[in-house]
Amino acid sequence: MGGTDVPIGPVVKRTKIFITRKKRIRNDNPDGPITFNDEDMEGIAQLHNDALVISVLVNKVRIKRVLIDPGSSANIIRWRVIEQLRLLDQIVPAIRVLNGFNMACETTKGEITLPINMAGTTQQTKFYMIEGDMGYNALLGRPWIHLVRAVPLTLHQVLKFPTPEGIKTICGEQQVAKKMFAIEESVKTIKAPDRNEGKNAK
């Protein structure tokens, strides 16, 4: 769960400026440690509290709105995505009960192992399938993060992981994240009481 902050007090009209990050995939420090610097924040709208959302390739098909969530102990994917990929015959029947942060339970519809291609690196990744609606198409949690030894950083909106060719850097899609987790505030108008209400009409 997440969202954007709702301002309190006088509202000032501002002009929105959208910046597209040019470098989506980059190789750094072939044999060095994973580090972050100001260059990684280029093109990021600050200040923000946005989640890290990326796109991945599965069987040469780009899956958008993939949430990177270190707080999740499972990789999750929507049933509809598997249906659109025409991989229903690869589903392994498995019922699991997943608990959310508010202890709400969701029962999985099965599991499937998919080749997740990111920056030219492919890893076989097991997902649990959920049929309900979610703001994202898939979620990569700690099982995948630990498998590829990735280091996600939401502040910089990047994900880095080591490969034999060097450190790969994947840039997050900040504007997609903002739309996914935007809070829709419903403003109720309170009608002022009618002073003449209850009086006889003349």
Q: How confident is the model at residue 47 (pLDDT cuts 50, 70, 90)?
A: confident
Task: Say yes or no to pLDDT of 159 above 90.
Answer: yes
Q: What is the mean predicted confidence (pLDDT) over 116-142?
A: 90
What is the predicted pLDDT for the residue at 108?
84
- Domain-located, residue 193: no
> 10 Å Cβ neighbour count for 118?
22
What CATH number is associated with residue 75? 2.40.70.10
68 in Cβ contact with 52 (< 8 Å): yes
Q: How confident is the model at residue 2 (pLDDT cuts 50, 70, 90)?
A: very low
- Domain-located, residue 36: no
What is the predicted pLDDT for the residue at 200?
53
How far apart CA 49 and CA 157 sit, in angstroms, is 10
What is the predicted pLDDT for the residue at 197?
54
pLDDT digits (tens, 9 = 90+) for 17-42: 344 455 445 555 555 689 888 888 88
**Residue of 65, 128, 61, 53 lying closest to 97 (CA atoms):** 128
Task: Say yes or no to pLDDT of 133 above 50.
Answer: yes
Over pLDDT 70: what percentage of the chain?
72
Q: Token pair for residue 1?
A: 């769960």
- Domain-located, residue 102: yes
- Domain-located, residue 194: no
How many independent structural domains does the chain possess? 1
Which residues, including other chains, have CB under 8 Å from residue 81's CB and lie 6 or more apart? Answer: 63, 137, 138
44 in Cβ contact with 38 (< 8 Å): no
- Domain-located, residue 164: yes
Higher pLDDT, 137 or 132: 137
- Domain-located, residue 96: yes
Between 40-54, 60-74, 186-200, the lowest mean confidence (pLDDT) is in: 186-200
How far apart CA 117 and CA 31 sit, in angstroms, is 22
How far apart CA 151 and CA 8 sit, in angstroms, is 34
**What's the mean per-residue pLDDT of the chain?**
79
- Domain-located, residue 5: no
152 in Cβ contact with 68 (< 8 Å): yes
Task: Say yes or no to pLDDT of 14 above 70.
Answer: no
* Domain span at 97: 25-31+44-180
Q: What are 159's strand-pairing partners?
A: 152, 170
Which residues, including other chains, have CB under 8 Å from residue 132's CB and lie 6 or more apart? Answer: 106
- Three-state helix/strand/coil letters over 112-178: EEEEEEECCEEEEEEEEEECCCCCCCEEECHHHHHHCCCEEECCCCEEEEEECCEEEEEECCHHHHH
Q: Is the pTM of this model over 0.75?
A: no
- Domain-located, residue 20: no
